[in-house]
Amino acid sequence: MRILTSKLPALETTIFAVMSALANKHNAINLSQGYPNFPSDPKLMELVNKAMKGGFNQYAHMNGEPALRQAIANKFELLYDITYHPENEIIVTAGATQAIYTAITAVIHPGDEVIVFRPAYDSYVPSIELNGGKPVSIQLSSPDYKIDWDVVRKKITSRTRMIMINSPHNPSGTVLSEGDLLNLQQITSGTDILVLSDEVYEHIIFEESHQSVCRFPELKTRSFITASFGKTFHNTGWKIGYCCGPKDLMDEFLKVHQFNVFSVNHPMQVALAEYLKNADHFLQLSEFYQKKRDLFLDLVGSSRFKFNPSKGTYFQAADYSAISTENDMEFSRWLTVEKGVACIPVSAFNLNKKDDHMVRFCFAKTDETLKQAAEILCKL
């Protein structure tokens, strides 16, 4: 009889798969998993078709299609007046999750400590553990989810190798301020601590500007940035993202990337390179999603949920404590099975599954879908 020792013995099926399966089984309106239910731009799909017919169907360059890496570099110059060299500081990845895993694998050694702010996207901790690292979790408090940088300072030890941040933040919809990034820069100054900045929702931010780590000179020299075209252009199933950082970090990143992916879907890269030539395709995204956020909040305004309006991402966190005393997992199951609207329990992202009676709704849906869901939510 074969005996296997699991590397992740406590890991359960991701909450996204659980809730989407439940939504499908009970034909519920799916506001759980983070993907749009409307199509990507037909122009972009036409560009993919054109690239396929044009013969871009073999392996792409290991680092990514050169034209796409140049387009990414151009985007950083346009948005932040910052330079990343397309030849050796930008690598195209099979989505942002692969970029996150690869960055961690490239630099985390057994025993290294990685500071993670909870609630956190659920790939972070397993990726650290698979590489022998030790996650050092700092639980943030709902509903504001503000980072207490004094707590961060106390958590740093001689083994701290990395701090992971995510802004705009999934699942809370909060964003880091300039002051937050200045604190992070001050804390890491003069150390060997690296930063992994998950910025997949950088183009979906409301009322304020995105504070990318690349805007802060000292942080830029020690940081990986991961991003996602799937989140940006409504095609999460394409699994195209990228990672950028200083050459010494990206050299190590590439050593791992070449053996866990090697290269990424070629015709889609060619299409995205052409599509990015029109900056409006990402510059207009915040306005597009802010209208959806405002519509959703207006529609559920008479409900008993409590909301702090999302500052970014296409997620809205909600406090349901005026509706039920059940824990958030049971409430989410009830809402999906009995009422027909699927959401995500925020405790799935928290340290020790801390339950604050918070759930997450995805508003990257058609207006009609949001109206149908809100009609149910307002009757609870």
For 356, the 3-state DSSP assignment is coil
pLDDT score of 33 more than 90: no
368 pLDDT more than 90: yes
Task: Answer yes or no: is pLDDT of 2 > 90.
Answer: no
By C-alpha distance, which of 187, 176, 274 is closest to 222?
187
What pLDDT shows up at residue 66? 98
Mean pLDDT for 225-251 is 97
Question: What amino acid is encoded at 135 in this protein?
Answer: P
CB atoms within 10 A of CB 90: 23
What was the pLDDT predicted at 347?
97
Greater confidence (13 vs 98) lies with: 98
Q: Is residue 1 predicted with pLDDT exceeding 80? A: no
Phi, psi (5° rounding) for residue 160? Answer: -65, 120
pLDDT at residue 125 above 90?
yes
In this structure, are residues 249 and 266 in contact, taking their beta carbons and an 8 Å threshold?
Answer: no
Buried/exposed 275-293: b ≥16 CB within 10 Å, e otherwise: bbeeeebbeebbeebbebb
The pair phi, psi for residue 197, each rounded to 5°, is: -110, 110
Whether the Cβ atoms of residue 34 and residue 364 lie closer than 8 Å to each other? yes
Maximum separation of any 2 CA atoms in the chain, in Å: 60
Least confident among 15-19, 53-57, 215-219, 299-303:
15-19
Would you say 167 and 179 are in contact if contact means Cβ atoms under 8 Å apart?
Answer: no
User: Which H/E stretch holds residue 247?
Assistant: helix 247-260
Torsions phi, psi of 360, nearest 5?
-120, 130
User: Structure pTM?
Assistant: 0.96
Q: What is the mean pLDDT of residues 302-328?
A: 97
Model pLDDT, residue 13? 86
Q: How confident is the model at residue 12 (pLDDT cuts 50, 70, 90)?
A: confident
Q: What is the DSSP letter of 6?
A: -
239 φψ region: left (φ > 0), alpha (ψ -120 to 50), beta (else):
left
For the beta sheet containing 358-362, the strands, ordered from the edge strand earlier in sequence to the opposite edge, are 315-319, 358-362, 344-345
14 versus 106: which is more confidently predicted? 106
For residues 104 and 97, what is the distance between their CA atoms, to the nearest angstrom? Answer: 11
- Range list of β-strands (E), the chain: 29-30, 90-93, 113-118, 134-139, 160-166, 194-198, 223-228, 241-244, 315-319, 341-342, 344-345, 358-362
The mean-pLDDT minimum among 11-25, 154-168, 351-365 falls in 11-25
Average pLDDT over residues 232-236: 95
Domains of the chain: 15-40+283-377 (3.90.1150.10), 42-281 (3.40.640.10)
Of 12-26, 170-184, 299-313, which gets the smallest average pLDDT?
12-26
Helices (H), 300-363: 328-334
Average pLDDT of the chain to the nearest whole number: 97
Residue 197 pLDDT > 90: yes
What pLDDT, in 10s, does the model give residues 46-101? 999 999 999 999 999 999 999 999 999 999 999 999 999 999 999 999 999 999 99
| CA distances for 347 relative to 68, 78, 211, 322, 350, angstroms | 38, 38, 27, 18, 5
> Distance (Å, rounded) from C-alpha 67 to C-alpha 274?
8
CA-angle at 120, arms to 119 and 125, nearest 5°: 125
Are the C-beta atoms of 275 and 269 separated by less than 8 Å?
no
